[in-house]
Amino acid sequence: MGPVSAFVVFSVTWFIALYCLLPVRIRSQEEAGDIVPEGAMSGAPSNPNLRIKMIGATIISAIITGIAWYIITNRIVTLETLERIFG
């Protein structure tokens, strides 16, 4: 796996992981008891914790990229095996 392929795998998995982590442990302003300014949505998150979620997405995507790198460089799965399996 080349550096460009690794970057693509990392980027795609990072965004997927981030989108999966975004709704985790979210409390709306109304649930948190915050004062909701006039004209604002009461369902808006009071503290989205984006820094922690971005770090989590980075860790998850690094692990997935490492697994993909290991599988590809050690030829555990090749195009020939995929062709044999899927025809």
Averaged pLDDT for residues 51-72 = 96
Length of the chain: 87
Q: Please tell me the predicted confidence (pLDDT) of residue 83.
A: 92
pTM equals: 0.81
Kindly report the three-state secondary structure assignment for every residue of 20-82.
Answer: HHCCCCCCEHHHHCCCCCCCCCCCCECCCCHHHHHHHHHHHHHHHHHHHHHHHHCCCCCHHHH
At 58, is the pLDDT very low, low, confident or very high (cuts 50, 70, 90)? very high
For residue 36, pLDDT beyond 90: no
Q: Please tell me the predicted confidence (pLDDT) of residue 1.
A: 83
Q: Quick check: 11 and 31 in contact, CB under 8 A?
A: no
Q: Please tell me the predicted confidence (pLDDT) of residue 21.
A: 95
